[in-house]
Amino acid sequence: MSTRVELPALLTPGDAVMLRNSLLAALATSGRIEVDASAVQHLSVQGVQVLLSFVASANATAHPWVLKAPSEDLVAQLESYGLFPQLMTWPVEV
């Protein structure tokens, strides 16, 4: 069974807490995790850290996951953060 986690439009420092909890809960399941990134407009550094940490955890445990429909804003901001090479390694479904 897959678990869907939606990234909020504004991933503020406060939202990063909730996102962390949602992703932790998703990692506790066995199915594929779908991180829906279609609505993202703003990515705080705290949100970026949560995302990177999630990716590290999922990869370390070989937990299947996918970044769904990343918004243009998300891609552009990850690029601004200098994280484009990392984004390129993530499984993405457009």
Contacts of the segment 46-51: beta carbons below 8 A, 24+ positions apart: 46/12, 46/13, 46/16, 47/7, 47/11, 47/12, 47/13, 47/15, 47/16, 47/19, 48/78, 48/81, 48/83, 49/16, 50/16, 50/19, 50/20, 50/23, 51/19
Site for another protein, rule CB under 8 A: 1-2, 13, 16-17, 20, 23-24, 27, 31-32, 43-46, 48-50, 52-54, 56-57, 59-60, 62, 64, 66, 75, 77, 79-86, 88-89, 91-94
What is the closest distance, in whole angstroms, from the C-beta atom of residue 85 to another protein in the complex?
A: 4
What is the closest distance, in whole angstroms, from the C-beta atom of residue 7 to another protein in the complex?
A: 15
Closer to another protein at the Cβ: 39 or 52? 52
